[in-house]
């Protein structure tokens, strides 16, 4: 399954590196936009949230959504290649 993970961290000195490190541990992933990742994993959206919530403060936001094959957009070629398994 491929998930879209989007987040906004609000504290100026928030540790993005730790969050990004844990996202990368989920499985193959790619970062198409500033605060978004696509990650391939067998976990559920809730399990992904549980593994990442330690990096969030009460005013931060996160959205995790399982993607379908019905997708379209204007992204770098590397992102579309990643979806096609050419990574």
- Distance between CA 59 and CA 39 in Å, rounded? 24
- Helix or strand holding residue 23 (H, E): helix 16-24
Per the listing, tokens 């609000």 go with 10
Q: What is the DSSP letter of 7?
A: E
Instruction: Provide the domain count of the chain.
Output: 1
CATH number of the domain where residue 19 is located: 3.30.70.240
Per the listing, tokens 């969050």 go with 19
pLDDT at residue 13 above 80? no
Cβ neighbour number for residue 2 with a 10 Å cutoff = 19
pLDDT in tens, 29-69: 999 998 999 999 999 999 999 999 999 988 999 999 999 88
Q: Which domain range does residue 11 map to?
A: 2-83
CB-based contacts of 78: which residues, under 8 Å, 6+ apart? 30, 87
């Amino acid at each position: 399954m491929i998930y879209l993970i989007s987040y906004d961290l609000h504290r100026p000195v928030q540790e993005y590196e730790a969050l990004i490190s844990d996202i990368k541990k989920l499985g193959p992933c790619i970062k198409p936009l500033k605060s978004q990742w696509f990650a391939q994993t067998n976990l559920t959206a809730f399990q992904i949230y549980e593994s990442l919530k330690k990096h969030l403060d009460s005013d931060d936001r996160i959205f995790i959504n399982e993607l379908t094959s019905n997708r379209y957009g204007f992204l770098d070629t590397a992102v579309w290649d990643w979806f096609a398994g050419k990574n």
